[in-house]
Structure formats: C-alpha cells, structure tokens
Structure 1
Amino acid sequence: MEKHQIVPDVVDTVPKSVLTVRFGEKELNLGNYLTIEDVSEKPTLVSWNADESKLYTLCFTDPDAPSRVEPTVREWQHWYTFMVYEQPGKIDVSGEPRLNLSVEHRALRRNFSIRNFAKKQGLGEPLSGNFFQTKWDEYVHVVRAKLGLPK
C-alpha cells in the first residue's frame, strides 16, 4: 500500500490484514489491474476475519479521481480502495450523505476522505484493506450511460 501511495494518501497506516474482494471471478490483489468492465457492478464478495460480536464499517474510495496524474476530486466515493474499520460501538451516520447511482448524488461523492470519516466516527486505523488499479477504456461510455452522464 505504501508503494502505491494508499499510505499516506488515503490512510496513515497499512491495515493489519488483507481484505478479500471479488468482482465475479476477479479478485483484488493489492494493486492488480482490473478492467472497468470487471468492476462496473458491485463486488460479489467482500470478506475479512470478522468477530461476529463486533461492529464494522466498510469504506471504499478512489484516491485518484479523475486520474492519478490529476486527482482533482480526490477522494471519490466508489470501489477502488476498500477499507474495513472496527467500530467502537454503534456510530451515527445520520449527518453523512446517502449515496445512490443518480446524477444528483455525483457532487456528494467528490472530495470524500476516509481518514476524516474514520476520525469523526472514532474508528481508529483500518483493520483490513485492499485495492486495485484500472485504466480508462471504452467501457467508460457504458458506465456513463448507466449514470445518465454525457459521453
């Protein structure tokens, strides 16, 4: 995570364990490349060594939006980097934006900070995490159409 600057860009410390995340048959492997089509739907598996008596928060964010060279809306809320935090108890997220795929929610997704969210909620450092990389390809047009965005 340090090699790819997840630490310190997204979080301050490397999580204690690797989070298992799959999109169909494709599994994240700490920075491996997946296509946009591979990750255009929600993950089919997100798993970590959880204690059933505890509560957890799963966060996901893109630290390089819209690109690694110019991350002008860093962090963008969607699945590129995944982090799991152990909660100290129930947390209040009533003041946090509720997101869906609608165009109206796009502005709420930009400039999110996992670090600030975790601090505000008293979550501490991430317990587990994983991430992947992707490159722009023509499938972006399909995703943009699903979101009602211009090509």
Structure 2
Amino acid sequence: MAGRTQALSSRGVFVFIFALSFVHVNTNSTDINPCASQAEDVRNTTLLPHYLPPAKPTLNQWCESGLVPDVIDAPPPLQMRVRYSDLSVNYGNILTPAQVRSPPTQLTWPGEQNGLYTLVMIDPDAPSRQDPTLREFLHWIIGNMPCCSLGSGEIQAQYFPAGPPKGSGLHRYPLLVFKQPEYVIFHEPVLTNKSFEGRPNFSTRKFAHKYELELVAGNFFQAEYDSTVDELYRMVEQQ
C-alpha cells in the first residue's frame, strides 16, 4: 500500500511539473511589452494555455501530404495549434489567402520553461506543386523565442502572406517549431515583407542543420489563388 501511495505521489509531482511547461502569454495585454520594434507583425498573436499536451499527429498526415519528405525527414513529434482569428489550421485543411493575410492570432505548442525556439513557415510548392522550381519559398522566421513568447523573439523574416499564383492549384504551408540548443546568432540578412528578395529556394533542412535545431511541433494548411494575391503582388512590386 505504501508503495502504491508513493507511486501516486510521484505521478502527481510529474503532472504538476509538466503543466508548468505550458506558458500563457497574451501579447494584447497592457502588462506585457510586445517588443513592437522587433515583433511588429506578431503583436496580435496570443499563446493560449493548455495543461495537457496537444494530440500527437499521425505519420500519415505528414506523409500523405508529401511534406515528408519534401520539406522534413520525419513528422514533428507534437502538434502545434494554430489559429487565424476564428479559423483553425488542421493538417492540410484549406484556407484562403484572404483568411491568412495577417499572421496567426494564436499559436500553442509544448515547450520547456527555459528553452529557446525558432518558428519557420514556408511554401514548398512555389510556383506550383507540379513545377516547384522555387522550393521552398520562405514566409516567416522568428528565432530566439523564450518559451513560448513570440513577442520576445527576434524576427529573421517578416510574415509574408500566402500568395499562390493563379492556376497553380493548392499550395501547402507548414508551420514548424524547432528547439534551439542555445541562443543563436543568425547570419542570414533580416527579410522584410516588402520584397521577394531572399525568400525563394530556402531550405528548412539546411537551416535547421546549420543551427542545430530540433523539430518539436508543427501543423499545416493549404491554400490556392484568390483575388487578394494580385493585390499582394502589386504592393510588393510598388516598393
């Protein structure tokens, strides 16, 4: 009986410690500095508390989509929960470019209390999945994020909205979170969202290998052309 009581007590301690690894950050709060100078395009992003780990994705969801092996060698161990306003990203569901014009409003993934993380979003289907000569088109990178505070991270590539060309069909858009071994000094130039420069032919694999990043969580959606893409291209070309 004493052994069973000790086991239950140990289990309770484990659950309590595990729960502490999920951090609630609301970047809309007046009590939190959103670091607007560094994180202007994520100032409305909220990280919600979850005291149980997100469901593990199945191998099929990543393999059937082709993201394994097109982008990564194996599925992320855990699910990242992503929302654009009231719309959830759910392993390949279809959203429109208009719906993802702004950065996600909510991101949630399990993390370590003192860990640092890098978020990467890309399009492996540029200009089309049938002819991906620009694979991968880089959409977003934020590095050196404390668990789990995007507003305190360092933007390496500003959020660039999904812009699949007309007639190119569905494009896949994975969002991937990597754990860093330590603080990283990134050597790539910081990219704005006012230019295509530096975004085509990015390699998530090479980037992760270069900085010894460990993939821990992810999710993805699909999108195809709508009329807002034309407006996006016009805005970039006018810069």
Normalization by structure 2: what TM-score? Answer: 0.58
Misfit runs of 4+, over 6 Å = none
* Structure 1 gap segments, 5+ residues each: none
**CA distance, structure 1, for counterparts of residue 194 and residue 208 of structure 2:** 25
**CA distance, structure 2, for counterparts of residue 107 and residue 8 of structure 1:** 26
- Deviations along 1:86-138, whole A, 9 cap, x unmatched? 11111120x112111122xx1300100111000000113x1001111011122
**Structure 2 counterpart of 1:69:** 130
User: Letter of the aligned partner of 1:135 in structure 2?
Assistant: E
Aligned equivalent of 2:178, options 62, 82, 85: 85
- Deviations along 1:68-91, whole A, 9 cap, x unmatched? 111110000116211111111111
**CA distance, structure 1, for counterparts of residue 124 and residue 189 of structure 2:** 19
* Structure 2 gap segments, 5+ residues each: 1-61, 141-172
**Structure 1 counterpart of 2:100:** 39
**CA distance, structure 1, for counterparts of residue 78 and residue 232 of structure 2:** 31
Classify 1:107/1:16 alpha carbon distance in 2 versus 1 (closer, same or farther; 3 Å): same
Aligned equivalent of 1:116, options 202, 206, 231: 206
Higher relative contact order (CA 8 A, sep 6+): 1
**Structure 2 counterpart of 1:98:** 190
User: Letter of the aligned partner of 1:25 in structure 2?
Assistant: D
**CA distance, structure 2, for counterparts of residue 23 and residue 148 of structure 1:** 26
**CA distance, structure 2, for counterparts of residue 16 and residue 69 of structure 1:** 28
**CA distance, structure 2, for counterparts of residue 53 and residue 61 of structure 1:** 27
Matched residue SS, 2:113:
coil
Q: How many angstroms does 1:26 deviate by?
A: 1.1
Aligned length: 146
Whether contact under 8 Å (1:40, 1:143) holds in the other structure is: no
**Structure 2 counterpart of 1:25:** 86
Identity %: 39
**CA distance, structure 2, for counterparts of residue 143 and residue 23 of structure 1:** 18
Matched residue SS, 1:42:
coil
CA RMSD of aligned residues (A): 1.6
Whether contact under 8 Å (2:84, 2:106) holds in the other structure is: yes
User: Letter of the aligned partner of 2:216 in structure 1?
Assistant: L
Whether contact under 8 Å (2:194, 2:235) holds in the other structure is: no
